[in-house]
Amino acid sequence: MSDSLEKLRATLADLHVELDSVDSLDEETSALLKGAVADINASLEQQDAEALRDESLGTRLTDAARGFEESHPALSRLIGNILDALAGIGI
């Protein structure tokens, strides 16, 4: 497995830990983020790189990061790391 994919998996795991530690999240933004992360995880499990290229994933992650910037900066940072990891594998 490439280092970039491994970095993406590790960052997704970090995001799950952070999400579990946050008490209150905006429901709409949380659903947006969880949906995008679920799509990424499904694509990784199926080894479907083409599904990761779906532009809506990046858009949904960016929108979620904006929603968390002030209230949950650690989540926003992790989402940025996921976007960086996706860019690292050419997505």
- Give the C-alpha separation, 25 to 50, whole Å: 30
Check residue 71 and give its pLDDT: 81
Token pair listed for 45 = 């499990």
Q: Over the stretch 27-42, which tens digit does the pLDDT of each residue have?
A: 777 787 888 888 888 8
3-state secondary structure of 90: coil
61 Cβ contact partners less than 8 Å away, ≥ 6 residues apart: 33, 36, 79, 82, 83
Whether pLDDT at 6 is above 60: yes
Token pair, residue 4, equals 């970039």
Rounded percentage of the chain residues whose pLDDT exceeds 90: 0
Q: What is the pLDDT of residues 54-80, one digit of tens each?
A: 777 778 888 878 877 888 888 888 888
Length of the chain: 91
Q: Does the pLDDT value for residue 1 go beyond 60?
A: no
**Mean pLDDT, rounded, of the chain:** 80
- 1: DSSP letter: -
What is the distance between the alpha carbons of residues 7 and 5, in angstroms, rounded to a whole number? Answer: 5
